[in-house]
């Protein structure tokens, strides 16, 4: 089922079984049109099956991912170098290495606390030098965040350091042995940065995201739900499974 919610925003509701393929289709479409497309990749449970599906398609020869240029959405401040907990390393292990996306094709969110503000500006320049982002993929936080743009973030924000909310650190705690080790600072593309992408794919699955997806798509456009600002963008495809879409009727 596909439905237009606002001039720039299209909702595609699929079964849970179809979710990974529908998400992978967004990447496949952009790469078929432009093999060296600039694609922004998120981490998390939501996109994981999409990465597996993309790798499966590449193994079958149905798609060639090795020419695309990858950019990152967010990471933890201080997760430098080869820190295994960084989002960079999660993406490298999960997707970039098996997809043969060489390191030089990746533009990495800065994570070194030293000189971080200048590095955030350099990150933005790097996006511009690549001609901007062709497709930015996003998960949706339980608190409505996109990237690490927590409630209260300005829609004009650029790449910046964030003090993560308890909702986010609790959600992230599953990845850590000790709750006190979960980082409390992140670095993220800003909402303004995200909205400049030529197209955006918002991926949402599971019943626990149904309330926040409803607030994102049908509630007020407000900093309290950062994802609601996506309704100001021109080309947004929301891919939701039936559980996540349960409250949209
Ligand atoms: P999740 O995270 O995919 O692990 O649910 C989404 C997000 O917080 O952006």
Query: Exposure of 220 by Cβ count < 10 A (0-12 exposed, 13-18 middle, 19+ buried)?
Result: exposed
CB-CB neighbours of 227 under 10 Å:
29
pLDDT in tens, the chain (249 residues): 788 877 899 999 999 999 999 999 999 999 999 999 999 999 999 999 999 999 999 999 999 999 999 999 999 999 887 777 889 999 999 999 999 999 999 999 999 999 999 999 999 999 999 999 999 999 999 999 999 999 999 999 999 999 998 888 888 777 766 666 778 899 999 999 999 999 999 999 999 999 999 999 999 999 999 999 999 999 999 999 999 999 997
- CA of 68 from ligand 1 middle (Å) equals 23
Residue list, ligand 1 pocket, CB within 6 Å: 44-46, 139-141, 171
- CA of 169 from ligand 1 middle (Å) equals 11
CB-CB neighbours of 117 under 10 Å:
11
Q: Each residue of 176-197: pLDDT tens digit?
A: 666 667 788 999 999 999 999 9
To the question of pTM greater than 0.85 for the whole model, the response is yes
Report the atom number in ligand 1 closest to the C-alpha of 47.
Answer: 3
- Give the span between the Cα atoms of 126 and 144, in whole angstroms: 27
Query: Atom 8 in ligand 1: which residue has the minimum CA distance?
Result: 141
Q: Of 134, 145, 160, 172, which is the active-site residue?
A: 145
- Give the span between the Cα atoms of 135 and 41, in whole angstroms: 9
Report the atom number in ligand 1 closest to the C-alpha of 142.
Answer: 8
Q: How many CA atoms lie within 13 A of 138 on its CB side?
A: 31
Paired tokens of 249:
């009727």
Report the atom number in ligand 1 closest to the C-alpha of 48.
Answer: 3
Of 38, 2, 8, nearest to 195 by C-alpha is 8
User: Which of 41, 43, 44 for a ligand 1 pocket mutation test, highest count of atoms within 8 Å of Cβ?
Assistant: 44
Q: Pairing mode, if any, of strands 2-6 and 9-14?
A: antiparallel
């Amino acid at each position: 089922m596909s439905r237009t919610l606002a001039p720039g925003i299209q909702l595609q509701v699929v079964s849970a079984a179809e979710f990974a393929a529908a998400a992978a289709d967004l990447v496949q479409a952009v790469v078929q049109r432009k093999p060296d497309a600039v694609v922004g990749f998120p981490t998390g449970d939501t996109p994981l099956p999409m990465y597996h599906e993309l790798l499966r398609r590449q193994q079958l020869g149905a798609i060639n991912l090795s020419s695309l240029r990858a950019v990152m959405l967010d990471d933890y401040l201080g997760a430098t170098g080869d820190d295994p907990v960084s989002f960079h390393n999660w993406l490298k292990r999960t997707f970039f290495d098996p997809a043969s996306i060489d390191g030089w094709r990746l533009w990495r969110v800065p994570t070194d606390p030293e000189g971080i503000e200048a590095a955030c500006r350099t990150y933005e320049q790097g996006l511009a030098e690549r001609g901007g982002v062709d497709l930015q993929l996003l998960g949706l936080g339980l608190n409505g965040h996109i990237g690490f743009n927590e409630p209260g973030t300005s829609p004009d924000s650029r790449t910046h350091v964030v003090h993560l909310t308890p909702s986010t650190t609790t959600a992230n705690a599953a990845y850590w042995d000790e709750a006190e080790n979960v980082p409390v600072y992140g670095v993220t593309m800003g909402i303004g940065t995200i909205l400049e992408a030529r197209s955006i794919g918002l991926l949402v699955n599971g019943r626990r995201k149904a309330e926040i997806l409803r607030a994102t798509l049908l509630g007020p456009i407000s900093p309290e739900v950062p994802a609601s600002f996506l309704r100001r963008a021109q080309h947004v495809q929301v891919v939701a499974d039936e559980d996540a879409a349960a409250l949209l009727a």
